[in-house]
Every structure is written in C-alpha cells, then in structure tokens.
Structure 1
Amino acid sequence: MYPLKFKPILKERLWGGTKLNEVFGKPCTSEITGESWELSTVKGDVSVIANGYLADTTLQELIEKFPNEILGKSVVQRFGTEFPILIKFIDAKQDLSIQLHPNDQLAKERHDSFGKTEMWYIMDADPGAELIVGFNRDVSRVEYEESLKNDSLLELLNYEKVVEGDTFFINTGKIHAIGAGVLLAEIQQTSDVTYRVFDFNRRDKDGNLRELHTDLALDAIDYERKNDFKVDYSKESNSVNTMVECPYFKTNYLNLTESMVQDTLNRDSFTIFMCVDGEAAIENEFGKVNLRRGETTLVPGITEKITINTNGAKLLEVTI
C-alpha cells in the first residue's frame, strides 16, 4: 500500500503540441499530444501501476481487490469501487473547442456516467494566452441558438488572460475552452462526456469537421453570466492552502520550502499529489516515491502518515 505511480496515458489531439514531452518528459511519439491522463479508470483508459511490486496491475484491479484500503471507507460508501477522480495534464498548442459538460443527472440519464465538474491550475502560459470561461453577459437560449446559426458565438463569450498559478473552477453547464499556449493540470470527476458546440470550423487530418453536440448541449448549458470561476487562494509557504472544496473533490495548494508531515489517520480518503513545480519525495509507512514537475502519485487511503521531503516543491493535493 505504498504511494503509487502510473504509466501516463497519452492522447493525440488536433490541438495538442509537444510540451508534455519537452517540459515534463512524457514518452510522447506524436507532435500533437494534447493530454496525459495520469490517473484514470475510464473504460478503455485504465491506469496501470508503474512502480513497486504491484507494477503492471491496473488501478481498477487493485481497487476491486482492496477497496477500503485504496479508496477509504467513506469513499467506498459513496462510489463503491468506482474511482471518482480523473487527473490530467493538458498542452494546448491551439485553442480547444468551445464546450461544456452535463451535470450528474443528465450524464446518468444519457450516458450512464458521472457529470464532469473540473478545475484547472495553470502551470505555464505563453504571453497573452487566454481561457474562455462562461458568457460575458446573461444570454437567452434563443440568442445562443441564433449565434450558432450566424457564426457569432465568440462575441458572447468571456475571455480571461492567464499566468502561472491562476486557478479556475468549471462547474457543469459552464461553456468554456482552453486557449492556445496554455499548459495546465486538470482535476475532474471521472467522466469523458463533453458537449462540443463550436470548433472554429477546423478539419482533422482526414479533412473532416469534428462532431458537434449542438442539440445535447441546449438543455445542459447555464446561460447566466456568473463570476464564480476564478479561484482566490492563499499561497502561504509550508501550509495547507485550500483551493477548491466541492462535493466531488477537495484540492489544496502546498508551496513547500521544507519538509512536511501530515497525520492522515482520520482522513478516510486516498490522497493524490500532482507536482506542479520542483521536486519532492512522498512517503508513507509502506514506501516512498519521488516526484518531479509533471508527475503524480496516489497515496492509498489506509495511510496513517504522509511525509513530504523537499527543499522546494509546489504540489496540488487532492482528496475526497
């Protein structure tokens, strides 16, 4: 039950680039690698353990065998043996499509899936890089449909310039897109359900337009302008700084200049660490792993104490 590392699941994307390899050292073989799935139990894309005696076992196999020990009893009570979190690093060389995600109810009815609430932590951004998050004013459904017909949707959207450290919470229904030149860490519910509504009329390598989900999106969109997406959080050194706390995950920011010990006896949840800068060694009573920028570990829920040894690291800590 030592801290687990996993083989990255690399995804070619029309909008992807080369930073996942150049910056993080991911074993990419394509010049359009857009995503590295670090922790996943999405069907067809289940993470495989890379370290220790459990190497080559899948995360799902381990959870099925040791649910309480890996997830924590309270997590099992809520989700059974389904791992509720999907962890990614994303490199957007080009703009992503304009999209949104359905809530739990719609996702369950239509796709037998969780909804997709997510958050982004900006790890790097080219000068002037932007995100699209929400509308720039309240919009009616009729107005939105008209904008699709006359190709003016972009005029209704809210643009946010970003720099390293900026953090955004994207609740279900919020229209959004990652802009060109952004490298980020993404934490989300376990779901691969996306409604794409506009893709800049781009064509794939075979000359085809990508599928849009216009009709599915109509009753999933939140048409109100809401200023609820930019996360204001403390960056105090050597403290646990809460970033996001929602029903699906809790994320803390650890800006460490020295080692830290955490008592996790009563946490009753697995703990994920994403290293977004520097290096650290993550240790529990069963073993340890070394993390550098762009790497992730899962510490099993049975852990009673976590020691983070570092001279300098910025970590995102995710629990349920």
Structure 2
Amino acid sequence: MTMTEIAPFRLKPWFSERPWGRKSLKPWYEDTGTTELVGEAWLTGPQCVVEGGDLEGRTLADLSRELGGEFPLLVKLLFPNEKLSVQVHPDDEQAKAAGETRGKTECWYVLEAEPGAAVALGLKPGSDTEKIKAAIADGTMESLMEWVPVQVGDMLFVDAGTVHAIGPGVVLLETQQTSDVTYRLYDYGRPRELHLEQGLKVIKPKTAAGKVAPKPMEGFTRLIEQKYFIVDRFDLEEMEERQISMEGAGCLVGLQGNVWIITPGEEIELEPGKAVVIPQGTGEVIVEAEKGATFVRCVAPVSGNQ
C-alpha cells in the first residue's frame, strides 16, 4: 500500500489522565470515557483510532507502519486545571545521544485563556545550574522563570532546550514532533518522578522560544513556521468551498463550526476538537465550511520530516 492509496481519515481523540487535568472537558468533548482527571486529548497520537470509512478501527501507528514511518506530528489539546510541571525537552542530537529517536520541539496556540493566565518560557538571566538546583530544593523554581501573559489567539514557540511550564486557566492546541521525551525538573511537591540529571544536561540558556506574530497570507493566517511544523488558521466568513494544499504529511483540526473534507466518494466531517489526517502525497483536499467556521492546518515540512 502506498501513501497515495490511503485517503484522508478522521481520528478519535485519545484522552490522557494527568494530575493537573480536569474532570470535564466540555464544551470540547462531551465524554472522556473516564472519571479521572484528564489533561490532554491526543488528536494524532499513535494509539488514536480511525473513525468511519474503510479504515475504521485501525490505529494511526498501524497505518504509519504500513506507510514506512511514524506520523511526524503529535497534535494535542491541553486542559490544565492546575500548573503543569516545570520541564525541558532535548533537541534531536541530545535525544539521539540518550538513545531516543528524536527530540521534542513544540508550539502552543491559545484557544481559551482566563484573565491573568500565563506560561513560563525560559529562565531569567544568570540562572545557572547551581541556582536551578537550589531553587528546586527550596521550592522557589517558579521565581527563576520568565512568565509570559497569554490571551486567546497567541502562538508560542517552545524550542527544544527551553525550560517551560503552563499555568492553569487556558486551553492550548499543541503541535510538536512525535516524541514524548520529557525531563521533569520541578513538580510543586507532587509525588511524581523528576529527571534532574537528564534535564540539566539539555537546558539551553538562550533559545528561540517566545510569542510568534501571526502573518496574514492569501486566504489564511500563518501562525508559525518552523523546521518541524507549519500551523495555519483558516477563518471562513461565509459558507464556501476551497482547495487546501498539503505539501507534507499533516492534518486539519476543527476549532469551531461545521467543516467537511470532500474526498472521492466520501465526505468527512471535521468536528471541533478532532483531527483529519491528510496523508503525504495527497496534494490538495477540498474543504467545505459554513459561515463562522475555523480550523487549522498542521503540516510537517518535507525538509523537517524526520
């Protein structure tokens, strides 16, 4: 089976239980299938299952193996009800040196934000290893971090090697390399494993992390363009049909309103909070959307498709 023989398909979100998560993810999801706290909805996780069509019931990991590789982007919705741990991710070179497949560079697009919501991106100048160790030991790690206020529509780049954290009161769309390599440095006293030795090795004192200004394009808004991903937002002001190009492997994620992806012999509904994977080689898809609909396109550039 070749890539072009697989038509676009919709995935069912996989819900990840986290101690900082929420009981309810409404209005995004009516039911998570668990009574535990859920922090993440993985939209293109390897364990996500196809909904509808000839591929129904197959996992993304299963399909990716048939196509000769891993799907390059892990797209999630994050629902923090409390602060996430302070953590850092390695870059590709550091990850491979530690026996991992690849590093973890990511970005966050703010979908909801309560007044005063903030994220931490990077360390204050002069925060060396000894200061970090001391702050972790005495519970003052937050004071070493650069806290950034956020509001709906902000895009934040989280470069590998950036010490970071997410505060409560937000819903984020996260697009990242397909990797779950996370070194937890500080967790506010929660009884979870820390990875101080590994984390200190990969911290970079200065990275490209920070807010990214949106860039108006013809027919859409470019939210971010980096080596591993390009994320664009489409806002439909009237009921319309348009062609959407997909130069690399990627997906479309519904954010608001009714959207349909037209494929030969099938219409796939793109619901808010779900992803439709567009296999590499598809080229273009036809999207029909109602007035007021919003969706994003997440693509792994071919050059960064590692």
Between the two proteins, the alignment pairs up a number of residues equal to 293
Please give the alpha-carbon distance, in whole angstroms, between the structure 1 residues aligned to 2:282 and 2:264. 7
Write out aligned runs for 1:13-32 (5 A): 13-32=18-37
The residue number in structure 1 matching 2:242 is 261
Consecutive unaligned residues in structure 1, runs of 5 or more: 68-79, 203-208
Amino acid at match of 1:287: E
Amino acid at match of 2:184: R
Please give the alpha-carbon distance, in whole angstroms, between the structure 2 residues aligned to 1:307 and 1:89. 25
- Tell me the alpha carbon deviations over residues 155-209 of structure 1, each in whole angstroms, 9 at most, x when there is no partner: 111112222111111010101111111111111111111111111112xxxxxx1
In the alignment, is the contact (CA less than 8 A) between 1:48 and 1:55 conserved in 2? yes
What do you get for the CA RMSD once the two structures are aligned? Answer: 2.1
Q: CA deviation at 1:5?
A: 1.1
The residue number in structure 2 matching 1:205 is none
In the alignment, is the contact (CA less than 8 A) between 2:49 and 2:57 conserved in 1? yes
Q: Select between 176-185 and 54-63 the one with higher mean Cα deviation.
A: 54-63
The residue number in structure 1 matching 2:219 is 239
Amino acid at match of 2:248: S
Amino acid at match of 2:250: T
Amino acid at match of 2:19: L
In the alignment, is the contact (CA less than 8 A) between 2:12 and 2:274 conserved in 1? no
Q: 1:144 aligns with which of 132, 143, 167?
A: 132
- Tell me the alpha carbon deviations over residues 8-39 of structure 1, each in whole angstroms, 9 at most, x when there is no partner: 21111100003424433343422411111111
In the alignment, is the contact (CA less than 8 A) between 1:285 and 1:304 conserved in 2? no
Q: Does 1:298 align with 2:277?
A: yes
In the alignment, is the contact (CA less than 8 A) between 1:95 and 1:177 conserved in 2? yes
Pick closer, same or farther for the CA change 1:38–1:103 going to 2, 3 Å. same
In the alignment, is the contact (CA less than 8 A) between 2:89 and 2:103 conserved in 1? yes
Q: Does 1:217 align with 2:196?
A: no
TM-score, with structure 1 as normaliser: 0.84
Consecutive unaligned residues in structure 2, runs of 5 or more: 1-5, 301-306
Amino acid at match of 1:37: W
In the alignment, is the contact (CA less than 8 A) between 1:272 and 1:318 conserved in 2? yes
In the alignment, is the contact (CA less than 8 A) between 2:72 and 2:249 conserved in 1? no
The residue number in structure 1 matching 2:51 is 50
Please give the alpha-carbon distance, in whole angstroms, between the structure 2 residues aligned to 1:222 and 1:304. 37
The residue number in structure 2 matching 1:7 is 12
Amino acid at match of 1:298: V
Q: Percent identity?
A: 31
Write out aligned runs for 1:187-202 (5 A): 187-202=175-190
Amino acid at match of 1:166: D
Pick closer, same or farther for the CA change 1:48–1:197 going to 2, 3 Å. same
TM-score, with structure 2 as normaliser: 0.88
Q: Select between 153-162 and 131-140 the one with higher mean Cα deviation.
A: 131-140
